[in-house]
Amino acid sequence: MNKYDFANMLNGTLYGKVFSTDIFDLAKKHGLVVIHGISDDLIEIDGALSNELDVYNKLHVEPDELYFSLDKSGEVKYFNTPGEKRIHVIYDKEITWNFETDIENAAFYMLLDKKVYTKGIVINLNDLEDDSNINFKDSIGDWKLKLLKDHIEISFNPEARVYDIKDIVVVKQNDNYVFLYKKDGSYYQIKFEEDAFLSIDLYDAEDDFVDTIGCWTF
């Protein structure tokens, strides 16, 4: 069974219906990942991967757009900017839950009072990345920051540097910085400065400077 057949099987399901374990066992058997939203705060990931994401604050309190990446192990990272193989979470009045991504997917729709209420997607496990990339372009050129299991890799042109930074759960990016947040609220501030200079500083959850982790001129 492919993702299109599976999505077609779910299409038209009444919102609020609890899917049976047999349904998701079938998805798991065929290497399929099912993503859909419930209530106003939870994203359910089922099938070949299993997770439940509480995104209430990210959707309804924080002002940023919400994106997340999902790797083959089921690890989730949150972003406030679009990027390759990220999933954009859209919550609004027209279709309560909507998911948009450049990952090839099959959509299904759940109904409430005979109207489309929420959209889910089905994707192949093999289409997921083993890591996440962040691209950052400035006047000097194109930088790439790769989040791996137990470190990060930052590259500029042909040169790359590795830093012992791990357990990142949220990534935020603006015109000047990339911020990598850990579960305890502490974060790394990464700045790509003029003359190809990289600086990485660690701050605690109260935004107080802790240490300089790295600096390098490429």
Lowest model confidence (mean pLDDT) among 26-30, 53-57, 193-197, 214-218: 193-197
Domain that holds residue 180: 132-217
Mean pLDDT, residues 177-192: 94
pLDDT reported for residue 134: 80
Q: Domain end: 84, 111, 127, which one?
A: 127
> Residue 39 and residue 55: Cα distance in Å, rounded?
11
Grade residue 201 by pLDDT with cuts at 50, 70 and 90.
very high
- What is the H or E stretch that residue 191 is in? strand 187-193
Q: Provide the 3-class DSSP secondary structure of residue 141.
A: coil
- 120-172, pLDDT tens digit by residue? 999 999 998 766 778 776 666 778 888 887 899 998 877 889 999 999 999 99
Query: Do 190 and 139 fall within a single domain?
Result: yes
pLDDT reported for residue 81: 87
The two structure tokens encoding residue 61: 């309190």
Query: Do 115 and 153 fall within a single domain?
Result: no
- 5-26, pLDDT tens digit by residue? 999 999 998 887 768 889 999 9
Highest averaged pLDDT of the listed ranges 83-87, 93-97, 101-105? 101-105
Give the closest residue to 17 by CA, choosing from 43, 38, 3. Answer: 38
pLDDT reported for residue 131: 62
Query: Do 118 and 30 fall within a single domain?
Result: yes
Q: What is the DSSP string of 27-80?
A: HHHTTEEEEEEETTTEEEEEESS-EEEE-HIIIIIS-S-EEEEEBTT--EEEES
Structural domains of the chain, count: 2
pLDDT reported for residue 99: 96
> Which residue would you say has higher pLDDT here, 79 or 143?
79
Query: Do 65 and 120 fall within a single domain?
Result: yes
Grade residue 180 by pLDDT with cuts at 50, 70 and 90.
very high
Q: Domain end: 77, 104, 127, which one?
A: 127
> Residue 107 and residue 163: Cα distance in Å, rounded?
39
Give the closest residue to 23 by CA, choosing from 48, 55, 60. Answer: 48
The runs of H, that is alpha helices, within the chain are 3-10, 21-29, 56
Q: How many CB atoms lie within 10 A of CB 72?
A: 15
